[in-house]
Structure 1
Amino acid sequence: MYRIDLHPSTGGDNYIDVECAPFEIPLGALVPVGTKNLVPAAKNIGTTHITNGAYRLHPVEWNIGESAGELVAFCLDRGLSPQQIATDATLVDRLQGRLTEAGVELHWPEIAGY
């Protein structure tokens, strides 16, 4: 739960440090809306300036890369696009099962208070 750090801010502060709760990376952040057959795999996911303050850390980037690789393999195995996977709840469940089998963490470990 690395704190979100933003710099510079629009309020004149050179550094803002914000507490961060456990989060998950939505599949939609890995699936471009208007581009077919392209999957980001690190800091280039669809995000906001604020959430990027948490997503930019190495363990999160590595998780994104592992997830992107599994998503691409899943698409190739089925002859489907990332957009088709992301919009079908059954396929998302199957992809998440594949990620879990590959050892990719989908959820934060249990942390008291959250």
Structure 2
Amino acid sequence: MALFGKKKEEKKEETSCCCCGGEQTTNETTSTCCGEPVDGICCIKVLGSGCKACHQLYDNTVKAVEGMGIEVEYVTDLKKIMVYGAMSMPALVVNEKLVSSGKTLKPAEILKLIGE
């Protein structure tokens, strides 16, 4: 066992875009994500551990995009969360980009972030 040696090169895990059904990876995604964005948005994810604040952000996000036809994904897998670099929960990811972390946003605040 080499404690101070080089670690074995780990295979980089590629996460799939939520709206592609696994057909594209984040490395292949562009600003249009899957080619069919709704108002410029294709993926919205709420990252959290399952606590009350995380569920509240998910509910507020669903309310914010209710009439837009955008699917909101709730991610609790720590490995997937760390890919986005979120250091505090809950976190909000729009089009595979971390836009908020550590705050439970209200629907109006979420719409403002989505519009940027």
Using structure 2 for the length normalisation, give the TM-score.
Answer: 0.25
The structure in which a higher percent of residues are helix is: 1
The structure in which a higher percent of residues are strand is: 2
